[in-house]
C-alpha cells in the first residue's frame, strides 16, 4: 500500500492551491529596493521557500506569470 508521493514524482496540486502558492511567492518575492522580502524583511524568506517548494514539487513553477509571456489572452484587445 502506497501512502505519500514517491520522490521525484510531481505532487498534484489543485488550481486553487497553485494560485495561492503563486500569490505567496509574488507577495514574498525579494524587493529590488530592499534586497529582501518586503513583508518579512529578509531575503528568500520561509514563506517564499514554502510556496516555491510546493510549486516545484508539483512541477508548476513554469506557470509563474512573467513579463512578455505569449499566449495569454486575458485583457487582449480584439
- Binding residues for Zn ion, per CB under 5 A? 28, 37, 39-40, 45, 47
**Please, where are the H alpha helices in the chain?**
15-27, 46-57
Nearer to Zn ion, 19 or 43 (CB): 43
We find the least distance from the C-beta atom of residue 77 to Zn ion, in angstroms, to be 36
We find the least distance from the C-beta atom of residue 57 to Zn ion, in angstroms, to be 20
Nearer to Zn ion, 5 or 46 (CB): 46
Q: Is 14 exposed, middle or buried (0-12, 13-18, 19+ CB in 10 A)?
A: exposed
58: number of Cβ within 10 Å: 18
Nearer to Zn ion, 10 or 26 (CB): 26
We find the least distance from the C-beta atom of residue 54 to Zn ion, in angstroms, to be 15
Amino acid at each position: 500500500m502506497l501512502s505519500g508521493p514517491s520522490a521525484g514524482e510531481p505532487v498534484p496540486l489543485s488550481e486553487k492551491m497553485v494560485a495561492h502558492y503563486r500569490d505567496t511567492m509574488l507577495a514574498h518575492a525579494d524587493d529590488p529596493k530592499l534586497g529582501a522580502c518586503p513583508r518579512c524583511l529578509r531575503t528568500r524568506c520561509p514563506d517564499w521557500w514554502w510556496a516555491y517548494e510546493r510549486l516545484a514539487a508539483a512541477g508548476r513553477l513554469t506557470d509563474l506569470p512573467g513579463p512578455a509571456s505569449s499566449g495569454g489572452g486575458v485583457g487582449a484587445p480584439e
